[in-house]
Amino acid sequence: MNSEVPNFAISKGCLKAVELLNEKMYTAIFDESKQPKDVTVLVFRLLFQLVNFPDIHQKLDNREYWRRIVSYLRVESGGKIGSHLKELCDRLDFSEENIYLISRLSEPLIKKLNPSNFSKICGTTGFIVFYIKDAFEYCGLIENAKTHPRQLLKFLEYKIKRLKSSVEKINEMSL
């Protein structure tokens, strides 16, 4: 068995979904004056954590966070969100630390991370969830046949290391 973890590549289904992100959808959702549902904002937090953009800070309230996302996407994608997402594939950060942060951020959502669930709320968000789901399957946050065993093991070993460190800190504090 080949133990090399293949590079991430979005699936054909995801590619088709991302290609559907056109200018009409862009103008409909990316409006600073409209605040989307919190779950929609969470999807974008997951997307931008996957890319690990430090300039779009995660600890902002949803209103300010949404304002920054809208501003970023207007400038960087120029309305071509699908093309921009394809370009971002090369920037996805699958480091253990980033995957761990994403796992913490996505905890309340992980079991519901299905494009059809989000398409009911917002079509654009549903298409973006295809992209996020592919990345989560790749790195082991969602286990399925696409998840490479070595990638899953790498993430779980890191998570164990983090948990052990937390336990050690708690034990030191109780002494």
CA 112 to chain centre: 14
Per the structure block, which two tokens stand in for 69?
């996302």
The verdict on pTM exceeding 0.85 is: no
- In the chain, domain spans: 12-174
Other Cβ atoms within 10 Å of 27 Cβ, number: 11
pLDDT tens string for the chain (175 positions)?
455 667 887 788 888 877 777 655 656 667 777 888 888 888 989 999 998 887 776 788 999 998 888 888 888 887 778 888 888 888 899 888 999 889 888 887 777 788 888 878 777 788 888 889 889 988 888 877 777 788 888 888 888 998 898 899 898 888 7
Per the structure block, which two tokens stand in for 142?
């969602």
Region of 86 on the Ramachandran plot (φ > 0 left; ψ -120 to 50 alpha; else beta): alpha
94 in Cβ contact with 7 (< 8 Å): no
Q: What is the 3-state secondary structure (H, E, C) of 84-144?
A: HHHHHHHHCCCCHHHHHHHHHHHCCCHHHCCHHHHHHHCHHHHHHHHHHHHHHHHHCCCCC
